[in-house]
């Protein structure tokens, strides 16, 4: 600063030039923030500050979780030694090294995928009627649920882990192929309404979408709702891809970390590989003040499917809103029980009853609890409800398989 500039600054602030040279940041303001020394400043942790970047605190929580679990791991190793045979752990996934029934079951799912594609091709050219196509689709979708469950129940070499993986795959395919059927039906209706041979004026138009490439892109895309033209990113970012890949290694400590591993790391990894542009896999469910908000925001792909193909069609048919919401929970309860009971080969309905219990819980929380109290109720239901259901299945499974030997 020149002598003339210093003189002008001193006159405007009405201070002694000597004080300015000794304490320049305190005389007229903070040189780093640019704010006056007399300006009211709110502490960052105060709600009035508007500050919301707590990434460092989140990282601290993750580090503490890792360190605390590592401490428990080391203490157990020192006190008890290695109690689990690694070969037995591997055999849980691969019971017979020469026969992988769960993997074979997943490969067979291509039959149902191709069946849906060829049914739509016949519908597009008019060789089969809409009624015949609907019957064939419903038969294909019903078989998609019955065939894997029957295989898991009858093939003794399929382990519970293999059963969960295969049934999870078939459940996702069921939701995808149902959306595929519905969306192509809408395209045919639009084409008939416009009577110009094209459903929509976009990059891909119906029936040009009925290809193997389009079908399998949808099958692998991290979405359950089909559309002719998905939003696409301009390129695959290798650095982003590597970060998501490495994030899938350590994040298996608790349910919250599983959520981050699957909905953030894994789905973003797949989306980046496929240049899939819609990355809204979750919203701020951790701020849920009602149970319904939690279920609508923690799993966006499933929520979008339920809205598009189940909830809104029921409302359009005149079904009461509460009954439609209850029906959605009923369908969700069925699939939760389907994915647990069939692989374990026992039917206890704990998952089903746990999901249906969400309906009265949602009514209670929305009516009597608000704000932080509602958010606390949601967290309590997550912290207590899910572990209880898991423990019930573990208890029953142990009694059935090992109770007679003790």
- Cα separation, 168 vs 157, in Å, equals 18
Contact 153, 345 (CB under 8 A): yes
The token pair at 338 is 């389907």
Which is catalytic among the residues 137, 303, 309, 336? 336
* Known active-site residue 212: no
Contact 229, 203 (CB under 8 A): yes
232 forms beta bridges with 276
Please tell me what DSSP assigns to residue 48.
G
Please return the burial class of 297, using the count of CB atoms within 10 Å of its CB with bins 0-12, 13-18 and 19+: middle
SS3 label, residue 264: helix
- Within a 10 A sphere around the Cβ of 160, how many other Cβ atoms? 15
Peptide bond into 207 cis (omega under 30): yes
Of 241, 265, 239, nearest to 251 by C-alpha is: 265
Instruction: Please list the alpha-helical segments (H only) found in 29-97.
Output: 55-80, 86-93
Rg (CA), the chain: 29
67 CB contacts (<8 Å, ≥6 apart)? none
Contact 102, 162 (CB under 8 A): yes
The token pair at 256 is 């919250």
DSSP state letters, 347-371: ---HHHHHHHTHHHHHHHHHHH--H
Phi (first) and psi of residue 346, to 5 degrees: -150, 145
- The residues annotated as belonging to the active site are 336
């Amino acid at each position: 600063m020149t002598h003339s500039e210093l003189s002008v600054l001193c006159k405007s602030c009405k201070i002694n030039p000597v004080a300015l040279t000794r304490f320049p940041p305190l005389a007229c303001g903070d040189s780093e923030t640019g704010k006056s020394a007399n300006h009211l400043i709110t502490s960052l942790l105060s709600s009035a500050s508007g500050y919301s970047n707590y990434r460092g605190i989140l990282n601290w929580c993750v580090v503490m979780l890792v360190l605390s679990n590592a401490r428990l791991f080391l203490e157990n190793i020192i006190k008890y030694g290695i109690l689990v045979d690694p070969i037995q752990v591997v055999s849980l996934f691969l019971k017979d090294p020469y026969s992988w029934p769960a993997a074979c079951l997943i490969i067979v799912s291509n039959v149902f995928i191709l069946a849906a594609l060829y049914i739509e091709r016949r519908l597009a050219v008019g060789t089969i009627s809409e009624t015949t196509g609907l019957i064939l689709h419903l038969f294909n979708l019903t078989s998609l649920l019955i065939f894997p469950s029957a295989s898991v129940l009858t093939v003794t070499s399929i382990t519970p882990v293999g059963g969960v993986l295969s049934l999870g795959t078939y459940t996702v395919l069921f939701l995808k192929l149902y959306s595929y059927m519905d969306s192509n039906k809408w395209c045919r209706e639009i084409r008939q309404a416009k009577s110009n041979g094209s459903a929509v004026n976009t990059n891909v138009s119906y029936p040009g979408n009925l290809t193997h490439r389009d079908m399998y892109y949808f099958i692998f895309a991290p979405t359950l709702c089909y559309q002719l033209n998905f939003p696409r990113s301009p390129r695959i970012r290798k650095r982003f891809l590597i970060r998501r890949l490495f994030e899938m290694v350590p994040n298996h400590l608790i349910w919250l970390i599983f959520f981050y591993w699957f909905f953030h790391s894994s789905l973003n990894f797949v989306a980046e590989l496929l240049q899939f542009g819609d990355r809204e896999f979750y919203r701020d469910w951790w701020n849920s003040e009602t149970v319904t908000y939690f279920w609508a925001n923690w799993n966006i792909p499933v929520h979008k499917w339920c809205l598009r193909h189940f909830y809104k069609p029921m409302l359009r048919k005149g079904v009461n809103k509460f009954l439609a919401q209850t029906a959605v929970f009923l369908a969700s309860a069925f699939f939760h029980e389907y994915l647990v009971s069939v692989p374990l080969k026992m039917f206890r309905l704990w998952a089903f009853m746990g999901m249906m219990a969400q309906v009265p819980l949602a009514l209670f929380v929305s009516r009597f609890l608000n704000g932080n109290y509602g958010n606390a109720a949601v967290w309590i239901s997550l912290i207590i409800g899910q572990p209880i259901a898991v423990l019930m299945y573990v208890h029953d499974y142990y009694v059935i398989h090992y109770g007679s030997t003790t």
